[in-house]
Amino acid sequence: MNFLSAQLRASPAYARVAPYLAILLITCIQDSLHGPLRYWLYLLKMIVGILCLWQVRSLAPEVRWAFSWEAVGVGVVICALWVGLDSYNPKLQLFGKAGRPWNPFEQFGEHSILGWFFVGVRTLGSALVVPPIEEAFYRSFLYRYLVRGSFTTVPLSHLHWPSVFLTAFIFGFSHYQWLAGIICGLAYQWLVIRKNRLGDAVLAHAITNFLLGVWIVWKGAWNFW
pLDDT band of 4, cuts 50, 70, 90: low
**For 128-187, what is each residue's pLDDT tens digit?**
999 999 999 999 999 999 999 999 999 999 999 999 999 999 999 999 889 999 999 999
Chain center to CA of 171: 9
Closest CA to 188 of 174, 173, 168: 168
- Structurally, the chain folds into a number of domains equal to 1
From residue 160, alpha-carbon distances to 92, 108, 150, 189 in Å are 27, 48, 15, 11
From residue 16, alpha-carbon distances to 33, 35, 45, 63 in Å are 28, 32, 17, 9
Q: 90: how many CB neighbours lie within 10 A of its CB?
A: 7
Domain that residue 157 falls in = 2-224
- Does the global pTM surpass 0.95? no
Chain center to CA of 203: 11
**For 67-77, what is each residue's pLDDT tens digit?**
999 999 999 99
**For 87-104, what is each residue's pLDDT tens digit?**
887 766 554 454 578 899
